[in-house]
Structure formats: C-alpha cells, structure tokens
Amino acid sequence: MIEAPTETTQAARVRAAWDVLDTVLDPEVPALSVRDLGIVRDVLAQGDALEIILTPTYSGCPATEVIEHDVLAAIDAAGLGPASVTLRRAPAWSSDWISAEGRKKLAAYGIAPPHVLAVGEAVPIRFFGRGRKHEVACPRCGSHHTERLSAFGSTACKALYRCLACQEPFEYFKPI
C-alpha cells in the first residue's frame, strides 16, 4: 500500500530539494550554484509534486532555459520528482540576492563580486570617460587601482576591467 505523503515527509523532501539545488551550477558562472546566485526563490510541496520558483537574472539571459532543465534533471536524479519550475518575474532579481558564500566563491573564481545596491535607488547618468578610475578591487591582487574596459563582458551580467597594479584583466559582476 502506498502511504499518503505526510507533513514531515513533505518537509524533508523540500529540505532535500534545497540541498540538491546547492549542487546545480549556473552554466554561465559555474563557480556559483543557483542557490548562491539567489535565483531560487522558493520550493513548495504541491500535493504529489514539488514546485520550484525561479527568478531569472536578466530578461534575455540565454541560460534561463538551461537552468530550468538542469534543476529538474537534478531533482529527478535525486529521486525527489516529480517537480515543475515556475518563473517569477516580480520582484525583479537583484545582485544583492547573491549570498555571502556566493560572493566569496565569485572572488575566488576571479570575478569581482558586485557592490551592494540600495534597493530602489535612483541611478543618475554617470559619465565614465577614458581613464577614470573605479572602486572595484582586483580579485587577484586586491588592488583598487583598476580601470573599466567595457560595461559589457562575456555575458550581460558582467563588465570587463583591468587591474593597473598586476596588469591582469578581470570581470566584474555588475550590480543590478
């Protein structure tokens, strides 16, 4: 006889799902798990199935569909299925949602972690101009003597920088 799911087995299943999500890596920034990135907003037990709520980082992020697929595959492989993914747009993802652990992992991976944004802060137009310096620390040598090369790096979520102290180029995860 199959037992009906009880409160406790459901809670254990949700907890196990969160642990599994800690192992699903972002395909564009494989130093981070989807949990570190802060895009997993909730895991709900809905009757027989799990519902995983994800908030995409950027509107046009090509990784969104890959992440959905990887999340479901990992949940299935752990025997926690069936599960479904729901995309939730509001509130919009912010780089402030990257966990403290995630920030450390980014820096260790060679990507400068984003500055913390005050939520709802109105951003005035700033002009960078050539050679203007920024307060972004080099993830390799820690120097603040760095310059921005381009506002867009290998993906929309990163900018390209160069360290003027150690001469190494690096990426900066943009605050958004």
Partner 1 sequence: MQSSIEIDRTPATQYLLRVADTCLILAQRLGEWCGHAPVLEEDIAMANIALDLVGQARALLTRAGQIEGRLHDEDQLAFLRSERDYFNLTLVELPRGDFAFSVLRNAMVATWMKLLWERLSDSSDAELAAIAGKALKEARYHQQHSADWVVRLGDGTAESRLRIEAALSELWRYVPEMFDCDEIDEEASAMKLGPLWSDLKPDWQSEMGQILSEARLSAPKESAFQSDGKRGRHSEHMGYILADMQYLQRAYPGGVW
Q: Which residues make up the interface to partner 1 (CB under 8 A)?
A: 56, 58-62, 89-94, 123, 125-130, 149-156, 160, 174, 176
Least separation in angstroms between residue 58's CB and partner 1 is 6
User: What is the smallest separation between the CB atom of 153 and partner 1, expressed in angstroms?
Assistant: 7
Question: Closest separation between CB of residue 134 and partner 1, Å?
Answer: 13
Of the pair 33, 64, the CB lying nearest partner 1 is at: 64
Q: Which is nearer to partner 1, 6 or 150 (CB)?
A: 150
Looking at the Cβ atoms of 18 and 152, the one nearer to partner 1 is 152
Three-state SS sequence of the chain: CCCCCCHHHHHHHHHHHHHHHCCCECCCCCCCECCCCCCEEEEEEECCEEEEEECCCCCCCCHHHHHHHHHHHHHHHCCCCCEEEEECCCCCCCHHHCCHHHHHHHHHHCEECCCCCCCCCCCCCCCCCCCCEECCCCCCCCCCCEEEEECCCCCCCEEEEEECCCCCEEEEECCC
Beta carbon nearer to partner 1, 2 or 90: 90
Smallest gap from Cβ 106 to partner 1, in A, equals 19
